[in-house]
Amino acid sequence: MERRDLTPQEEAVYGLVLEQGKVPVAEVKSQPNGEEALTHLMAFGLLATNPLYPDVVVAVDPALAVARQSSRVLEEIARDLGWVSRLPQNTATLAQQYWTAQKAQSGLIEVVRGAPAIGQRLELLLDSCRTRMLTVHPEASRRAPEIESVLGRDLDVIQRGADVRILYLAPVRRQVAVQAYVKAVTAVGARVRTLPRLPLRQFVIDNVVIVPYQGDVSAAVFIQDPSTVAAMVEVFELLWTLGEDFTPRTSREEQVEETLLTVMRMLVEGASTRQIARELGLSERMVTRLRAEISDEYDTDSAVRLGWLLRERYPNGIK
C-alpha cells in the first residue's frame, strides 16, 4: 500500500459508508474517483467487505486500521534493519577482493583522497593487522570524540598480538580523553610515549606506511615499498628511544603543570607578561616561554579565544 495521507475524496467516501452503515461496492465506485478511493481505503483497512456479502462494504474502526498498519510498517523496518546490519559481513569478501585488486593495480605507492576512502583503507588494514601498529600523532590536542571512536578498534589490534606503540605530543598528556584512552590500551599491552616535538602524522600497519599527502590530511599516501617502509620504521624507532613514557607526573612535573595552568588563567584575565612574572615570582623570559608553549598547544594568541578553549577543556574551571 502507498504510504501517504488520505485525500479529501477518500475521507468523503469513508464518511459516506460510515453514515449509511452498509454501501454497495458499485455505489462507492460511482462516486468521483470512487474506485481509486475504495482501493486505497480497503488496502488501508478502513473499509472491509463481509465474505457473505462481497458486494457490500462497511466502515472499520480507524484505531484498528492504524494499529494494523503500524504493526506492518514496524515489521518491515525491523526486517530492513536486520538486512542493513548484515551488509558489512555479507560484503566483506567482496570488499577484500576490491581492495586487493586496487592494490595490485595501484602499485607500491598510492594516493587516496577523501576521509571516507582513507577510513575504509585504514579499517581494512587494521582488520588484518597482526604484526605491528606504530603511530605518530603530532597534534597538540586530540578531539575526545575522535579518540573515543578508535578505542575499540585499537583494542582489537592489541588483543590479536600486534606490537602497538603510540607517540604523542607532550601537551596531550593533560587531556582527560587521552588519559582514559592510554589507560585502556596500556592495560592490554600497548605502549605510549610523548615528545615535545614530532614530525608528520604517520601510521605503520604491518608492512604499509600511511602519511598525509603533501601535508594535506584530507589525502593520504599508502606506501608498500619495502625500502621506504623500513626507513620509516627506523625513524619511528629513533623517536621512540627519545620519548618519555606516558606515566603519571612527578611532583616536579605537577608543579610545572600547576604553574602553566595559572599562567593560562591569568592570560585569560588580561594580565601582561610582566604582571604574571611579578605575581608568580618568575622571570619574564620564563613567562614568555610558557606563553609560547600555550600558543602552540591551543593554536591561538588571543586571550578571548584561549578563554573559550579552556572552558571546553576545563568546564569546572582551572583549579
Give pTM, 2 decimals: 0.50
pLDDT digits (tens, 9 = 90+) for 121-140: 888 888 888 899 999 998 87
The pLDDT of residue 163 is above 80 = yes
User: Are 167 and 235 in contact, with CB atoms under 8 Å apart?
Assistant: no
- β-partners of residue 211 are 221
Say if 238 falls within a structural domain: yes
Q: What is the average pLDDT across 182-203?
A: 89
Report the pLDDT averaged over residues 310-317. Answer: 67
Residue 204 C-alpha cell reads as 605503520
The reply to whether 1 falls in a domain is: no
The total domain count for the chain is 3
Same domain as 199, residue 67: no
Is the domain of 207 the same as that of 294? no
- Report yes or no on 3 lying in a domain: no
Gap between the Cα atoms of 27 and 58, Å rounded = 13
Q: Are strands 109-113 and 216-223 parallel, antiparallel or unpaired?
A: antiparallel
Q: Are residues 99 and 81 part of one domain? A: no
CA distance 189 to 134: 13
* C-alpha atoms less than 13 angstroms from C-alpha of 73 in its C-beta half-sphere: 11
Question: Do 109 and 160 belong to one domain?
Answer: yes
pLDDT of amino acid 247? 72
- Are 308 and 174 found together in one domain? no
Q: Give the domain range for residue 62.
A: 8-85
For residues 171 and 73, state if they share a domain.
no
Cell 585488486: give the residue. Answer: 101
Same domain, 224 and 134: yes
Boundary-marking domain end, from 85, 104, 119: 85
174 and 32 in a common domain: no
Chain mean pLDDT for the chain: 83
* 234 and 151 both lie in a single domain: yes
Is 163 contained in some domain?
yes
Look at residue 278 and tell me whether its pLDDT is greater than 90: no
Q: Confirm if 166 and 137 have CB atoms less than 8 A apart.
A: yes
Residue 167, helix vs strand vs coil: strand
Both 35 and 112 in a single domain?
Answer: no
